[in-house]
Amino acid sequence: MAGSDPTPQAPTAPDTVKILIAGGFGVGKTTMVGSVSEIVPLRTEEPLTAAGLDVDDLAGIEEKRATTVALDFGRITISRSLVLYLFGTPGQQRFWFMWNDLAVGALGAVVLVDVRRPESSFAAIDFFERRGIPFVVGVNGFFGEHPYPPEDIREALALPEDVQVLLCDARERKSSRDVLIALIDQLIASAIRG
């Protein structure tokens, strides 16, 4: 046929976006990455030991037996043209030095909050606000419970109106995916506004 290009078009590689899953110690970061990742997630969890008894505050999470010491990594394909690389940050203060390296190249973040211990996520919120990295807040409903509406959580965390507060369950794939999609929608809207 005249005018047709006989060279088949190679499929284009999807865009990849780096997203951080952050928050305090024991808020569900590893659980979220694991629930939504389409690959077996890379985890750097180590057992809690007696050496951390004077350092780690287990109030409210006494059942916790392991902790992330470097990062969690997972991947989720949103569409044929978009793949998210998820990097879960360590939650213990002694490992926060890693956050700066993990944040390099990140387009956005999910800050997980445990309403039983909201103060554990203040440092993560401050981290992203200071660096101008867009984020949403995912309120992880432990035991399937959400005792407070998003407006009360926004007020308690002193969040600006443009930060979305989303109720979620980090154990459930659909719930975790919905939080990530809300973040991506926010990033796209921000890019369109320029």
Gap between the Cα atoms of 84 and 10, Å rounded? 22
What single letter denotes the amino acid at residue 149?
P
Cα–Cα distance for residue pair 123/97, rounded to 1 Å: 12
Q: Among all chains, which residue has been given the structure tokens 């369950």?
A: 169
Higher pLDDT, 15 or 4: 15
End-to-end CA distance of the chain: 43
User: What is the average per-residue pLDDT within 135-158?
Assistant: 91
Q: Please tell me the pTM assigned to this model.
A: 0.84
What ranges in the chain are assigned the alpha helix state H?
Answer: 29-36, 97-103, 122-131, 150-157, 173-193
Residue of higher predicted confidence among 25 and 133: 133
Mean pLDDT of the chain: 86
Measuring CA to CA, how many Å separate 164 from each of 8, 82, 150, 159? 43, 22, 9, 9
3-class state of residue 95 by DSSP? helix
Phi, psi of 5 (to 5 degrees): -90, 115
